[in-house]
Structure 1
Amino acid sequence: MTYACFVTGPAARGAALAAALLAAGLPLSALAQTPAPATAPAAAVTAPAAPRPPQGISESVAAIVNDDIVSTYDLAQRMRLLIATSGVQPTEQTLPQYQREALISLVDERLQFQELRRVEKEQKIEILGTDQEVDQELAGMAQGNNMSKDQFMAFLGNQGIGSDTIRQQVRAQMSWQRWIRGRYGSRLRIGDDQIKATLTRLEAAAAKPQYQISEVLIDATRVGGQEQAMTGATQLVTQLQQGAPFPAVARQFSASATAASGGDAGWVGQGEIPAEVEAVLTTMRAGQLSPPIPVRDGVYIVYLRDKRSGGGATLVNLKQAAVALPAGSSLADESAARAKLTELRPQVKSCTDMEAAAGRIQGVVAGDLGEAEIADLAPQFREAAETLAVGQISQPIRTQAGLHLVAVCGKRSGGAAELNREQIESRLYGQQLSMIARRYMRDLRNSATIETR
């Protein structure tokens, strides 16, 4: 790849950013305050035409990709789109990152369009998506945001985003995916040996913890090196902590195959994720966001949605009815509380009627304790969970907080649900196709002449 960079360094990046924003008629402060979409507009309105540079201000060149120009107007428009659709709240410190991501995205699109047009000409086939297909994709995107297509386009227009900007991005994505799947998809063969090896590995890992995660992968080779990837990931973690939606961030910034599904990687276990990521997951609780995790050629951000123990653990679902009784209460108070629970116990026929039955006895409160590993329960409850069958209710149990009746509402072995051969084949197919697509783009970048200014 021939890569000439005429503007470098933080000061120059700031100057280039200001030029891009001015070219689109957008002050820096205005962009920094642009909110992300919250709810659908009440009614569809006509989207304004794409903003053009104000009178007297001409566009300049942001990049040249094999003689194909990316203007500062294009760059500012893509930045607007990225910010509006990812939910991030830009600041002066983070705007250079979004500028860089927008420019990389535009350069990649130019390379994709150039390659697709070359293939169409040489092979006399049609690959590029039609206007009708783009409209269908936009309608699907709008539906995912609880909007009509007209409402979605109006929202983007109100953010100063021209319709050509979103249409070009959608056309590039759908056309490139069609070409990759058409060229390589039919050639990919997932052999029985691969499926069997995966099954063997999953069975071996079934006794170990599994994690339900969403992920963002910042590809170091795409953003200019590991240091840039770490800086970008750190800024994205801050944005996520401040409320940016993880799925939206993943769709705009992640280089993983899961980006299209908002970063949803499902349940994963040992051997399915990089060792560096797994080491961090073992220290996290459900609902936590990881710090940036450096791996070979990139940086991960992981959101742990849930975790479960391996197949050797037993999970139990419990409900309780309790009478508050602090430690040190008199024997008379304890006897009265025990009498209430003894009266209640035969009235509870199943877990579903515990709350209703408890509500008829003054001073008794019932509630769902949820699902937990038996090994993690308090000692007083653990014995009941181990010895009682599903549907059975314990005798009154004394704790520091009071007296409790515990009902076992469910028991199951821990571990992941078994994947069938079709699911494993589909997962392996998606992983290999994603790897091919990334290598293809890497080759296009390496052979291209790209100048940024």
Structure 2
Amino acid sequence: MKTKLCDLLRPVVLGAMLLSTTAHAAVQQLDRVVAIVDNDVVMQSQLDQRVKEVQQTIAKRGGSGGVPPASVLEQQVLERLIVENLQLQIGERSGIRITDEELNGAIATIAQRNNMSTEQFRAALARDGLSYDDAREQVKREMIISRVRQRRVAERIQVSEQEVKNFLASDLGKMQLSEELHLANIQIQVPESASAAAIQAAASKAEDIYRQLKQGADFNKLAIASSSSENALEGGDMGWRKPAQLPAPFDRMLSSMPVGDVTQPVRTPVGFIILKVLDKRGGATQTVDEVHVRHILLKPSEIRSPAQTEELARKLYERIENGEDFATLAKNFSEDPGSALNGGDLNWVNPQSLVPEFRETMASTPVESVSRPFQTQFGWHVLQVLGRRATDNTEQARDQQAMTVLRNRKYDEELQTWMRQIRDEAYVEIKLPGADQAAQ
């Protein structure tokens, strides 16, 4: 469990510490500034703690190179701390705040992922030498950075319908979005120089096994008893494969077969093979519950504090409850550029495509009812559920999958460009001994 915790929580920055060696001795400063970053600083204690974390991570991975000394890691780690600091400053200027409720929810989620209660999580942190309060602060910082990136990077990424169509038509798209098959095999081997009689005997054996399987015989047992495949002792289990990864004619044959069915024996260069479809995932027909919903989104900004944003959301909710038109208020107040002009209408949406807070609020709101104001990473919302339905969402699901793949690809590229940009535009003065002095 210690490894999981360290992977989830970076050790937290220690504040400056002062230590007096004797009652009459002068105070000795143990911490110092190693970088000035716009309106903030990075302290030696922060750098030391992060370097220590990186060394621990490298040590756990092992390898012949060993753990690099701190002097080798310091400059690279300091650069990462500088960029993180810049993002936190952007979050501060943008009015991004993390409420105690949000932070508690994030901590609870981390605990659940480690199969622990919050109290067990606190105890595990203590065993790992981590302060719970420091851990909370680090999670808070990570949440702020995530929201900064969402506002500055993710929201400006656009993927066109043509890009989606091109991706779906490409070999790469077909491979990534096709269904996966969990397969098992029984192989009856035929030696390369086998006689016609030997080949016929192998064919007859394969046909006999196939008949037994169609009559209900256990595939796992027959594989163990009769298969010459290297995975015979595992019941012939081949794991998950995409049809495109299989040789013809299996690529076409297996896609149309139901789970549990077996192929007739097929001649291959090494003999005869029978495949069974144990399970399928992805790519298949998908029926989903959709919700027709509209919302009003309000975002904190430099001219409107988080508290003022929340208060405005509550006032709009009261106006809707008192009979004012939801669509009109959405057009006048909503800051969601994709839906405001349509009266806040998001059309029919798959709940799984939404952030948890929005999804949960939507699920608990009856049709034709309006939710109370609630907060997500995007800001404050008021939503109205207009309808619910179950629909075949196969084509839309594939489009959404393609959209997600393309957005993630663009996001990774855009994020690196944006971080380089904010670093280049910032004033940074390095005060780390031995490092090149830089002021920008």
TM-score by length of 2: 0.47
Considering Cα pairs closer than 8 Å and 6+ residues apart, tell me whether 1 or 2 has the greater RCO: 1
TM-score by length of 1: 0.46
Name which one, 1 or 2, has greater alpha-carbon Rg. Answer: 2
